[in-house]
Structure 1
Amino acid sequence: MRKASKTPPKAAAPASSRIVRAFRWIGQGRLVAIACMLGLVAFRLLDPALLETARLRTFDFYQILKPRERAPLPVVIVDIDERSLREIGQWPWPRSDVADLLRTIGRAGGIAVAFDILFAEPDRLSPDRFGRSIARLSGEAAAELDRLPNTDTLLAETMGQMRIVVGQAARGRDTAQNAEQPGTPVAFIGPDPRSHLITYPGLLRNIEPLDAAASGRGLLSILPDLDSIVRRVALVAAVGETIHPSLSVELLRVATGGNAVAIKTDAAGVRSVVVGGVEVPTDPRGRIWIHYTPHDKARFVSAVDLMRGSFNVDRIRNHLVLVGTSAIGLLDLKATPLDPAMPGVEVHAQILETILDKSYLVRPNYALGAEIVLAIALSLLVVILAPILGAIPVLFLGMAIAAATVGGSWYLYIEHRMLIDVVYPLMTSFTAFMILVFLNYRREEVQRQQIRSAFGQYLAPSFVEQIARNPERLSLGGETRKMTFLFSDVRDFTAISESYKSDPQGLTTLMNRFLTPLSDAILRQGGTIDKYMGDAIMAFWNAPLDTPDHAADACAAALEMVRRLAEVNAARLAEDEKAGRTHVPLRVGIGLNTGDCVVGNMGSEFRFDYSVMGDAVNLASRLEGQTKTYGVTIIAGAETARGAADDYAFLEIDRIRVKGKSEPETIHCLVGDAKMRRDPAFLEEKTVFASMLNAYRSQDWSTAAAALTRFAEIAPPALAGLVPAYRARLARLSMTPPGPVWDGVFTAETK
């Protein structure tokens, strides 16, 4: 008989131990990367604005690389352009002129006409209304004007003889205006779509005679995406419980003689809109992706050419006609993927062309699922291979996968006009890769973080980074560098502070509220904030790190500071109005100057700061003080203006001896960016003011005064303060001329 073994059998390992061993085999880095990947899946399902904007910008890039090719389609824009306004007169024109324009379109053979214009009030230029607006008009003249035809009636009669679509604007508040007037019949094929459509509480319509005479009524309103770019336009939208078609859809319906617009729906929302026998695919909210072509002047016929009869009839015959404006002053400009300022009427034309050409951009319903699956697959591939292959081979593998992913998305866009996002899958997989890389270098980063924590509250961020890499730089000393300096100060802040006598905490909150965005504007342009002096800020560029374009960077920061302060004032105004308080806006003065100075660690062995000293610094401070004298916001020295002349708009405003300096300085007002520098209006302002300065320095006071008067007529608000400053100076000098030895330099009496 065999003896039983004395060794007991091995007990099965507990389940918890197996899980622990599995986790150890997977590794901390892989677990963190997988957890992050799952978090990003949830992030995609939430689809915050940042992620949506990145996706939309990708689709914009596709259209920029390969826009729709413009085919010869029967769509034309009758354009109330700058030339029309110059030759016919300012808008609005008399409705009798609009009626003449319609009759010309009708005689030329236009199929149907849509107005990208709203006639919400009666014509103030109608003879009967115009007569009542003239004071002391004789009774006989008033009676004669009353007998003339009403221009609204004339326009309504003309519209009744043609196929006309008038626009109506969705409003952000409820209104019962013209509620009794008819709308376009809308039929549903499937469930009621109202819960899915873009909905507005109110509607602004045309006056009753014109609305009643029109063959159709379409929504003018175009709701842009979160970044204010128009990519998708609702073909139908709800106003209250009533569904209205867009202007483009209504024009197609009227042109084809259709009685109604049909909406096909399913449980997910809208599938398509049917108009004129054409089924247009949409997203669940009833929106169409516009397949843009670049802005094309060939789409436009100037309204003045039609009114003068100097146009090619073939441009109108058998065409759908949109009447709108490209004039900048009428403010109907839209940002699109291809153009930052496309006329709104051209957007409507591009919608029509997209439909007529059937060149639809499509984002299928399964796109979200496909993008999430792709993101998970790529991320898991990185998580599995990175620890095995190493970072560099995985990097090249990732580049190959990224190229294939982007190439596939591009192929779908080119061949099938399908919009599939690659930003999210690549972002997710790249995040997993970066987590693995990050954990490998965590120990070194912890050491650097200790230095950052110790000195980050005292020194400039860029200097802290240098210390983290080179701790030996913590010693006294300085160097001479050419730098640009910025001083800013809030105007009348003492008076503002007095209003907070009983609320010192409120004053602190106010200072933090405006100093934070102003400081952020400086730091974002690579500046170092030297110190805060109450409500004032001192900053500099080109130290401790080299910044070749330091003058331009400082100018960019100054303009951004002004813009951000305007945002703060707008928010404070709304709060003050809501609370019933008197609103006192914050105004800032900024001085800029470029020159040599000494920069480095200054102080004692026990306490020192990284700071600057030199004459150029003092001049920047004096120039900030002179913004009050000249009534402008930003004054720059000559060296700064020269350094940033190619990128920014400057206006020379004087030669001045600031307090404490004997040498004169040519000073300039910083007006705007490169776009402003090329603006014809600014060039005219610059020319006129230069002629005033030449006459002023030549002691030709009358010529200088005449040029200053002309400048006052054209000067924008940002430069308007120069007018009273020079008007007072010219009046004083003409009464007491300085004599032949005068050098034309103004000596400042104050800081």
Structure 2
Amino acid sequence: MAEDVSKQQKKPGRIRKFFSMARLVGFLLLLGLLGVQVINPYPVEFLRVKTFDMYQRAQPREVKTRPVTIVDLDEESLATVGQWPWPRTIIADMVANLFRMGAGVVAFDIAFPEPDRLSPNMIADNVSGLDPSIEETIRQLPSNDAYFANIIKQTRVVLGQAGFDRKIEDQVHRPPVKKSIAFRGEKPHAFVPSLPSLVRNIPEIEEVAAGHGFFSLFPEPDGVVRRVPTLFQYENEIYTGLAVEMLRVATGRRTILVTSNELGVEKVAIAKGLILPTDKKGRVWPHFSKRDKAKYVSARDVLSGVVDPAMVRGKLVIVGTSAVGLLDIRSTPVEETLPGVEVHANVIEAVVDNAFLSRPPNMDGAEFLLTLFAGLIMIILVPMIGAKWTLVLFLFIAGGSGASSWYLFSEKKLLFDAGFAMISTLGIYIQLTYMGYAAEEAQKKQVRSAFSHYMSPALVERLAEDPGQLKLGGENREMTLLFCDVRGFTSISELFDAEGLTKLINKFLTPLTNVILQRQGTIDKYMGDCIMAFWNAPLDDPNHQRNGCLSALEMIDSLVAVNERLEKEAEEEGRPHIPLKIGIGLNTGTCCVGNMGSDQRFDYSVLGDSVNLASRLEGQSKTYGVTIVIGENTYRNVQDLACIELDLIKVKGKTEAVRIYSVLGDDQVAQKPEFIEYAKHHATLLKDYRQQNWEKVREDIKTAHQMIDALGMEHHGLYDLYEERMIAYEAEPPGENWDGVFVATTK
């Protein structure tokens, strides 16, 4: 019976142990990460596509066939023929030459939205003073556009059209061109991007063309063209992209077939064997190749007839430009600068070589499950078997997931992202490891605090003379309290093992302690890297405020030699060096000081509200960007030192505001004319600040920065804090009756 009760008691204990705080936080973190993965915000999508970009850079598509030839309006062509736009007669002659050389289809990655300005009738309209008979003769000549249209009518030409994702006010509306699309399943209009503006060609040439295709490319937010639209929507009508239309015309098909369902577009079929897998918006994800100059011919050479006919015969020819001045340079996953015309060539090559990348809808589910299972493994095993072995397990999972992602890309052309799952799993691992470490450190701190109380030499001498003082109780005395803490000690401690960290603490606590003891101070306790000390007990010290402040200044100076020594040791040991910097808080007030504890174990210590305030002031030194912060009671007795007022602040845990100051130097610094001028300027700045004269404060801050630079001081953070608060007060004014008090929300 007793054994059954014992088992029942152990079972709830095991359950509570399993659902520890670290695991509960891990579960919540995992749920949050899964929610982010489902929502898929831009940063997540950005990391995903950058991973796929990295794959394509590592293994760009190998060019196996070249079904496309690009007629390049390059710099040499522009230098020979003249600046763009060229007369349509020249373009028509170029098209005629291409078809004489056996071109299959000729497409334009440019549009002709306006009549040719060099047509005879345009010249007659724009040239004044012509003889009427000459003007009549010129007007009877056929226009350049008619000449171009006649060539297009006899050949298979696909004209380009430009869509814009913004409204063009002076856009000319024309009737839509003839349709060449059939639909299977759901109509894709809800998914295909709708463009507010469309730039077409002039009707004279557009009506006789064999096809019409959009050549617009819309880079993603980072400026990279990854996915190329095959379908566009304008005024509730669906149109095809340039590459798709070229393939339709080349295969002699009257229509293409768009298949879609309730989730979006699935594919675009042109002919048997020519199928483009798309995402739900009708975009294809071509596997890009590096720039292929072998598929380019110069427009100048086409016009002069010196092009190798093999470059044109049976090819799909795209007329485009690589000239920088014509602004058609794009960025792809494998090339930072690529002519936009070659992007269309990549799409056609991907169709012919079946080299499209694909990301089926089930990939989202697979990535979700990977995040879920990997996260659960970490949550279960990290507290159970420890951080070291679960790190090995994490590396195994990450390596396997990354290898699987690469295999699917390189062998199957499938895009599977393991990056988010691994980053999420690593985050959960770090969270669990940190919380385990923090819990362990909390236990160590409890043990350490029991043995961290040391008596000062002065107290030892006094107790040796009068052992009767070893009794519980104390006395009220006016005292000056000091708290000193090392800034960023957590980051510094990570550079050392336990033994090295102990040595480090001893190296800087020793000189700091010596300074305090030399100034008649008493060390109350060491708390890791923190020192608590006081003056005017157990020995009387009529100058305890001054000794406390001078000790603080000397403690700062003593760290110079310590940091030089530590830097040299770090260089010899080949590890980084982080300089030690401290923050100090000083306060004066009445406290109860004496032997505190029990009959068996007690220590000489101090209690009182003034002690708590001194600790709070040390914490504020980081906030105010200064090393030393002192209270008003301390300041009253050290006004011969180089002091400035910092603020009127209500510290955490206090109901009344206190005026706080900083000690920047000893009495010699205080007598320097530069400091006297600076102190007056600082007092004026505070006055303007409390009167909410913000514009004047801004000018005061600029001058203050210059003054402290001249004095060789490093207190720019103080004025950055004023400026930050001032901006907040400008947004939400504190009111006309504001007394200048700032309420601190942190210790």
User: Is structure 2 residue 374 aligned with structure 1 residue 374?
Assistant: no
Once the two structures are TM-superposed, the CA of residue 224 in structure 1 deviates from its matched residue by 1.8
1:186 corresponding residue in structure 2? 181
Question: CA-to-partner distance for each residue in 1:567-597, whole Å, 9 max, x for gaps?
Answer: xxxxxxxxxxxxxxxxxxxxxxxxxxxxxxx
**CA 1:537–1:127 in structure 2 vs 1: closer, same or farther (change >3 Å)?**
farther
Tell whether the 8 Å contact from 1:131 to 1:142 is kept in structure 2 after alignment: yes
2:486–2:582 Cα contact (<8 Å) kept: no
Q: Secondary structure at the match of 1:165?
A: strand
Q: Matched residues in 2 for 1:362 and 1:507: separation?
A: 58
Query: Cα deviations across residues 276-313 of structure 1 (Å, max 9, x unaligned)?
Result: 33222111111110110001111111100101111101
Q: CA deviation at 1:469?
A: 4.5
Q: Secondary structure at the match of 1:200?
A: coil
Q: Is the contact made by 1:202 and 1:240 (CA closer than 8 Å) also made in structure 2?
A: no
Q: 1:533 to 1:76 in 2, by over 3 A?
A: same
CA distance in 2, matches of 1:508, 1:49: 42
- Residues 545-571 of structure 1, C-alpha deviation per residue, up to 9 Å, x if partnerless? xxxxxxxxxxxxxxxxxxxxxxxxxxx
Q: Which runs of no fewer than 5 residues in structure 2 stay unpaired?
A: 446-484, 491-562, 564-575, 585-626, 629-663, 666-691, 719-747
Aligned partner of 1:104 among 86, 97, 116: 97
2:26, 2:580 → 1: CA distance?
29
Contact kept in structure 2, 1:362 and 1:419, CA below 8 Å: yes
1:666-691: CA deviation from partner (whole Å, max 9, x where unpaired): xxxxxxxxxxxxxxxxxxxxxxxxxx
1:137-216 paired onto structure 2 within 5 Å: 137-171=130-164, 172-173=166-167, 177-216=172-211
Change (3 A) 1:409 1:126: same
| Counterparts of 2:694 and 2:324, CA distance in 1 | 42
Paired residue for 1:227? 222
Aligned match of 2:37 in 33, 38, 44? 44
- Separation in structure 2 between the aligned mates of residue 252 and residue 34 of structure 1, nearest angstrom: 52
- Of 114, 124, 139 in structure 2, the residue corresponding to residue 131 of structure 1 is 124
* Correspondence 1:89-100 to 2 at 5 A: 89-100=82-93
Deviations 1:58-90 (A, max 9, x none): 000110001111012321100101111111110
Shift of residue 397 of structure 1? Answer: 2.4
> In structure 2, what residue type is equivalent to 1:435?
Q
After TM superposition, the score normalised by the length of structure 2 is 0.59
Which position in structure 1 is the counterpart of 2:291?
A: 295
Asked if 1:344 corresponds to 2:344, the answer is no
* Alpha-carbon spacing, 1:533–1:128, altered in 2? closer, same or farther (3 Å): farther
Q: Which amino acid aligns with 1:413?
A: F
Tell me by how many angstroms 1:390 deviates.
2.5
Alpha-carbon offset, residue 201 of structure 1: 2.5
Structure 1 pair 508–74 and aligned structure 2 pair: CA distance change class (3 A): farther
One-letter amino acid of the counterpart of residue 235, structure 1 = T
Equivalence map 1:583-662=2 (5 Å): 602-603=712-713
Q: Which residue of 2 aligns with 1:355?
A: 351
Residues 232 and 240 in structure 2, CA contact (< 8 A), matched pair in contact too: yes
Equivalent of 1:438 in 415, 426, 434: 434
SS at match of 1:329: helix
Q: Residue 267 of structure 1 corresponds to which residue in structure 2?
A: 262
In structure 2, C-alpha distance between the alignment counterparts of 1:147 and 1:466, rounded to whole Å: 87
Question: Are 1:421 and 2:417 matched, yes or no?
Answer: yes
Partner of 2:246: 251
Query: What is the match of residue 319 of structure 1?
Result: 315
Distance, in Å, in 1 between the alignment partners of 2:125 and 2:135 is 7
Q: Is the 8 A contact 2:65 2:353 kept in 1?
A: no
Deviation at 1:34, TM superposition (A): 1.6
Cα shift at 1:242: 0.4
How far apart, in 1, do the equivalents of 2:488 and 2:59 lie?
A: 50
Structure 2 Cα separation of the partners of residues 383 and 426 of structure 1: 14
1:686-697 to 2 correspondences below 5 Å: none
Instruction: Pick the structure with greater CA Rg.
Output: 2
User: Taking structure 1 as reference, are residues 326 and 602 closer, same or farther at Cα in structure 2, changes over 3 Å only?
Assistant: same
3-state secondary structure, aligned to 1:199: coil
**How far apart are the structure 2 equivalents of 1:506 and 1:193?**
58
Q: Secondary structure at the match of 1:90?
A: coil
TM-score by length of 1: 0.59
Q: Give the Cα–Cα distance (whole angstroms) in 1 for the partners of residues 5 and 428 of structure 2.
A: 40
Q: Name the SS for the 1:403 alignment partner.
A: helix
Whole-angstrom distance in 2 between the partners of 1:600 and 1:413: 61
1:386 corresponds, among 382, 385, 393, to 382
CA distance in 1, matches of 2:582, 2:395: 37
Once the two structures are superposed, the pairs formed by residues 467-616 of structure 1 within 5 Å of their partners are 469-471=580-582, 533=702, 602-603=712-713
Q: Whole-Å Cα distance in 2 between the matches of residues 116 and 169 of structure 1?
A: 9
- 8 A Cα contact 2:705 2:716, kept in partner: no
Is the contact made by 2:225 and 2:330 (CA closer than 8 Å) also made in structure 1?
yes
Tell me, yes or no, if the aligned pair for 1:197 and 1:285 is still in contact at 8 Å. Answer: yes
Residues 383 and 436 of structure 2 are in contact (CA less than 8 Å); yes or no, is this contact kept in structure 1?
Answer: no
Q: What is the aligned-residue identity percentage?
A: 34
- How far does residue 368 in structure 1 lie from its aligned partner after superposition? 0.4
1:403 matched residue in structure 2: 399
1:369 shift after superposition: 0.5
Give how far 1:470 is off.
3.4
2:81 aligned with 1:88: yes
The size of the alignment, in residue pairs, is 485
Deviates more, 1:24-33 or 1:105-114: 24-33
Deviation digits for residues 84-109 of structure 1 (CA, Å, limit 9, x no counterpart): 11111100001111001100111010
Post-superposition offset of 1:450: 8.8
> Distance in 2 between the 1:419 and 1:505 partners?
59
- SS of aligned partner of 2:388: helix
RMSD of equivalent CA atoms: 3.8
